[in-house]
Structure 1
């Protein structure tokens, strides 16, 4: 049986870069952990079929394993702001982070170097409210402004589009548990990246968007669970809450709403088109509810969203694969590929590679972009 003369050190580098343990890679390749060790040390070589499985698991081309070992990792480094007791980042998330960086590089190649993203100066507890006002001003928004859309997905698309218009890149993930992370940011002066967990509610994602903007304003890359127990997370939560629910406006809503803490949070959420949990966080920062009431809101909010997710899982079918891919990549990235395809700077085979989709799916995604975003 023919065997592939790979560079074992390159295989080991790729496995470690993607945070894949040997036993996990062995299962993917249909072999033993000892065999993976032998591949990495050069004592033996994988079959072509084993190499194909390894390449798929490590998100690499076959040719990559025949090249010299790279000197640095191509998976972005991020500070871990999750209160997770040091749990490792899953390999699937490492893959998504790497792909997000690749997408950024693709946009730079297709459309040139953009202007720096619109961003405020670093944020701390003393200036968090002022920085939120400054950010609104950068976007041309008054304190009374709320998105004109009503559906949750439309509200998310509004804020995502506004950020991308001002120099950010926003992607989403698929098939990563919400307990792992809610969002992460990768800092660059130009085209900083925000990665949202697709398992979250659309309103939850809106709050996470501006939580991550706060990390980017502090020129840091971070993986987040939005836990107030972590100081950096609490500051980012306060910024997002101030940005989405200005004090002058939420005070008026809270003053005229009578009921439990959850009912007051619901009223604020409906006005500002955010999640009930986000509204609860805002009410807590204004000391209009207690820590215990906020925790109660958090539990009830999570329980309700879990119920919605379970209900959706029981339905037959689901969104078409191309819609999920379009959602994850977003109109900013899909649009860059669409324009390059239209201008004949890339062909359909290139577009298939850049969108990680077969040609029929590529056509559906391009059509969706022009239908919803690309009309002048």
Structure 2
């Protein structure tokens, strides 16, 4: 075991691998690798030489392929997202959130490889209207063919959210759902002109995710990769683009014409607001805001309820749901939530048309061979 050959590892690669796994936390990386922080800093500043077993350990801790560490520079396709308001390395994000970002990027890249650099008709159609949030929301409803039945036929927000997600994915906007700390983000986007991605946080409420979905879609229309921690409907606290995306989401979810149709004559009270929220499958805070936007309540009425609405907070922490016995398809439904129907559908279609091998489809999807026919049935029947 002595005198094993060593290969040169780039300091830039080592720093990238550590930051995209542990963020700015050198301490945890040093514990996992069983080396000092000073050693890691030295590696990253000037590079180092490592044996195959050392590279294997590095690969396991940083969750990167061993071959990646043999490259001279960070692979272009695996550079971390460049968020508009801060650099990823400056954000104090948990390793869970960083891993979700990596998985989302990998899913996006694989899907683009399978579908090619296609024209995103939806984004291109809406691009000329992106200076006017009201018009853009109206054009989005028109482009997505959101009719009365689609909006009001579902039983609850959970069902409606699934419809909204499918609607966007059928137009080549990927929608993924992962669990990560809400203190890191409620949702984020990775922009691409062909196949952009929206990532929702499954720890958020159903109402929260529905609002986040179209808020993030607004960022994609502005061609932005964005990480959103808080989405307040108190517009005095919002910066311009956040306000714009809030308005798009609120207008899509609760259009003015339909709201006015549903509002009952007389004084608008909490009971009617709750009823409207249930009909539109949004939070009461969104309804109050839309009532104010449409001059159906006064500014004093709105300000009175604003301070009382818990749903104006960044998120609501819910008690963990009890886990019951899972059936053999539970992990496949989770896989669909994580990767989205667009990505999984593209992968299965590539396999069914013999464009990728049996090994490749299992590798892309991260499943065992026995689960493949079950996944096909779930998605295509």
Residues 226-282 of structure 1, C-alpha deviation per residue, up to 9 Å, x if partnerless? 134232222211111111111122133344486744x34321221112233433443
Does 2:314 align with 1:296?
no
1:102-159 deviation per Cα after TM superposition (whole angstroms, max 9, x unaligned): 32222222233333241323545xx322221111111223478615222433211211
2:16 is equivalent to residue 13 of structure 1: yes
Q: Which moved more, 1:206-215 or 1:146-155?
A: 146-155
**Match in the other structure for 1:132:** 137
**Secondary structure, aligned partner of 1:194:** strand
Q: Distance in 2 between matches of 1:266 and 1:80?
A: 35
Change over 3 Å in CA distance of 1:92–1:51 after alignment to 2: farther
Aligned to 1:356: 366
1:335 is the counterpart of 2:345: yes
Asked if the contact 1:253–1:267 (Cα under 8 Å) also holds between the matched residues in 2, the reply is: no
- Give the TM-score normalised by the residue count of structure 1: 0.82
Q: Does residue 236 of structure 2 align to residue 226 of structure 1?
A: no
1:228-307 equivalences under 5 Å are 228=235, 229-231=237-239, 232-256=241-265, 260-261=269-270, 263-286=271-294, 288=297, 289-299=301-311, 306=317
Q: Matches of 1:278 and 1:359 in 2, distance apart?
A: 45
Q: How has the CA–CA distance of structure 1 residues 284 and 328 changed in structure 2, closer, same or farther, with 3 Å as cutoff?
A: farther
* Deviation, structure 1 residue 350: 1.1
Q: Secondary structure at the match of 1:167?
A: coil
- How many Å apart are 1:98 and its aligned residue? 3.3
TM-score (normalizing by structure 2): 0.81
- Which residue in 2 is equivalent to 1:211? 215
Question: 2:288, 2:302 within 8 Å by CA — same for their partners in 1?
Answer: no
SS at 2:122's partner residue? coil
Question: 2:347, 2:361 within 8 Å by CA — same for their partners in 1?
Answer: yes
For residues 45-56 of structure 1, what are the structure 2 equivalents within 5 Å? 45=50, 48=53, 51-56=55-60
For residues 177 and 169 of structure 1, the distance between their equivalents in structure 2, rounded to whole angstroms, comes to 21
Unaligned runs of 5+ in 1: 372-376
Give RMSD over aligned pairs.
Answer: 3.1
Matched residue SS, 1:146? helix
Contact 2:289 2:302 in 1 (8 A): no
Say if 1:182 and 1:112 are closer, same or farther in 2 by CA, change over 3 A. Answer: same
Structure 1 counterpart of 2:206: 202
Aligned length: 358
Paired residues of 2:118 and 2:194 also in contact (CA < 8 A): yes
How far off is 1:294 after superposition?
3.1
The Cα shift of 1:70 comes to 2.6
Gap change, CA 1:42 and 1:214, over 3 Å in 2:
closer
Contact 2:172 2:342 in 1 (8 A): no
> What does 1:25-64 correspond to in 2, within 5 Å?
25-40=29-44, 41-42=46-47, 45=50, 48=53, 51-64=55-68
TM superposition shift of 1:192: 1.7
The structure-2 alpha-carbon separation of the partners of 1:365 and 1:282, relative to structure 1 and needing over 3 Å to count, comes to farther
Residue 88 and residue 140 in structure 1: after superposition, are their counterparts in 2 closer, same or farther (change >3 A)? same
Please give the alpha-carbon distance, in whole angstroms, between the structure 1 residues aligned to 2:203 and 2:185. Answer: 10
Contact 1:334–1:366 (CA under 8 A) maintained in structure 2? no
Correspondence for 1:323 among 333, 354, 357: 333
Alpha-carbon separation, structure 2, partners of 1:52 and 1:296: 54
